[in-house]
Amino acid sequence: MSTNNRRSFFKKGAIATAMAAAAPFGYSLQAAVEKTSLRSSPSDLKITEVKCGFIRGGSGLFVKIYTNQEVWGCGEGVDATPGTYHLVKRFERMLRDKNPLNVHRLFEDIRRAGVFGGAQAGMYIAVLSAVESALWDLTGKALDLPVYQLLGGKFRDKIRVYCDTALYQSRLPTPEDFAENARQAKEMGFTAIKFDLDQANDPNKYDRYNWTASPMELERMYNQIAAAREAVGPNVDICADMHGRYDTTTGERVAQLLEPLNLMWLEEPIPAENIDAYKKITDSTSTPICAGENIYLAHGFRKMLEMGAVDIIMPDLQKVGGLGEGQRIANLSNLYYVPFAPHMVASYLGAMAACHVCASVPNFMILEWQIYFHNNPMFDEIVTYDGPKIEDGFITLSEKPGIGVEINEEGMRKYATQGMPFFE
Residue 290 and residue 255 in one domain = yes
Residue 191 is part of which domain span?
158-400
Residue 168 and residue 97 in one domain = no
Mean pLDDT for the chain?
92
In this structure, is residue 199 part of a structural domain? yes
pLDDT more than 90, % of the chain: 87
Specify the CATH number for the domain of residue 18.
3.30.390.10
Average of pLDDT values for 323-349? 98
User: What is the crossing angle of helices 103-113 and 323-335, to 10°?
Assistant: 90
In this structure, is residue 151 part of a structural domain? no
pLDDT band at 134 (very low <50, low <70, confident <90, very high): very high
Higher-pLDDT residue of 226, 7: 226
pLDDT more than 70, % of the chain: 90
How far, in Å, CA of 299 to CA of 302, rounded? 5
Residue 39 predicted with pLDDT over 70:
no
Residue 131 and residue 195 in one domain = no
Listed residues 97, 122, 145: the one ending a domain = 145
Residue 270 predicted with pLDDT over 60:
yes
Instruction: Name the phi and psi angles at 406, rounded to 5.
Output: -115, 150
3-state secondary structure of 58: helix
- Please spell the DSSP secondary structure of 365-424, one letter per residue: --EEEETHHHH-THHHHSEE-SS-S-BTTEEEPP-SSBTS-EE-HHHHHTTBPTTS----
Residue 35 predicted with pLDDT over 60:
no
Residue 91 and residue 167 in one domain = no
Tens digit of each residue's pLDDT (9 = 90 or more) over 149-191: 999 999 999 999 999 998 766 678 999 999 999 999 999 999 9
In this structure, is residue 406 part of a structural domain? no
In this structure, is residue 70 part of a structural domain? yes
Residue 414 predicted with pLDDT over 70:
yes
> How many domains, in total, are found in the chain?
2
How far, in Å, CA of 40 to CA of 201, rounded? 61
Residue 89 and residue 229 in one domain = no
Residue 117 and residue 165 in one domain = no
Residue 164 and residue 139 in one domain = no
List, in order, residues 6 or more apart from 224 with CB less than 8 Å away. Answer: 173, 174, 175, 178, 195, 197
Higher-pLDDT residue of 11, 255: 255
Ranking 30-34, 74-78, 185-189, 406-410 by mean pLDDT, the lowest is 30-34
pLDDT band at 34 (very low <50, low <70, confident <90, very high): low
pLDDT at 166: 80
Higher-pLDDT residue of 35, 105: 105
In this structure, is residue 333 part of a structural domain? yes
Residue 42 predicted with pLDDT over 80:
no
Nearest to 371 by CA among 230, 150, 181: 181
Residue 247 and residue 108 in one domain = no
Listed residues 90, 116, 145: the one ending a domain = 145
In this structure, is residue 375 part of a structural domain? yes
How far, in Å, CA of 61 to CA of 412, rounded? 11
pLDDT band at 3 (very low <50, low <70, confident <90, very high): very low
Residue 253 and residue 114 in one domain = no
pLDDT band at 33 (very low <50, low <70, confident <90, very high): low
pLDDT at 31: 60
Residue 69 and residue 117 in one domain = yes
Residue 311 and residue 381 in one domain = yes
pLDDT at 55: 97
In this structure, is residue 380 part of a structural domain? yes
User: What is the crossing angle of helices 275-283 and 297-307, to 10°?
Assistant: 40
Specify the CATH number for the domain of residue 271.
3.20.20.120
Nearest to 156 by CA among 355, 21, 338, 334: 355
Tens digit of each residue's pLDDT (9 = 90 or more) over 185-202: 999 999 999 999 999 889
Nearest to 126 by CA among 313, 297, 379: 297
In this structure, is residue 412 part of a structural domain? no
Residue 281 and residue 373 in one domain = yes
